[in-house]
Amino acid sequence: MAYEPPITLTGIPHFLIPPDTPDFLTDYSWNTILTGLRQAETLMSIVTDRLGRPDEYGRILAWIHRDVERETAYYKAREIGTDKLVDEMIDIADAVDSVEDVARSQLRISTRKWVAGTFNRKKFGDVKQVDTTVTLDISKAMEEAQIRVIEHNTPRLIIDAEVDG
């Protein structure tokens, strides 16, 4: 029987882990995933090539999204990886290509541009500017306000009288 460490990645004893948590995920596996994402690798390539578990992609992704801290770390690692994608776009654009390679290079750049804009929208996303023109007619509201001011400032006549009866 293989040795099972008493504590898992999350610091929770094995017997308390939900059964759908991939059993091969350790601190090392999680760090491998985050490191790969920071290097702009896809989760599929990390799961397949680095962890050797191509059939576990869905379970790993579900496991990541079940925990807010894991999910935040996942998205932050993806965001960091976008800088590498941008550097790669420059290298691809500066490379000497044959006529046949130009279309492929353009596709590679377009794909990286889309991924960078999607994973790091603040830094690399397309800026959409919406220009609107709105005309407001406040003349009626101003007239009503002026009438209220006049009414408020108009002295009121108070007649104080006694009636003899």
pLDDT in tens, 29-82: 899 999 999 999 999 999 999 988 888 888 888 888 888 898 999 999 999 998
Residue 22 has pLDDT above 60, yes or no: yes
What pLDDT is stored for residue 165 in this prediction?
61
- Give the residue with greater pLDDT, 134 vs 16: 134
Q: What is the pLDDT, as a whole number, of residue 107?
A: 86
CB atoms within 10 A of CB 51: 19
**What pLDDT, on a 0 to 100 scale, did the predictor assign at position 41?**
93
Report the distance separating Cα 47 and Cα 64, nearest Å: 13
Rounded to two decimals, what is the model's pTM?
0.58
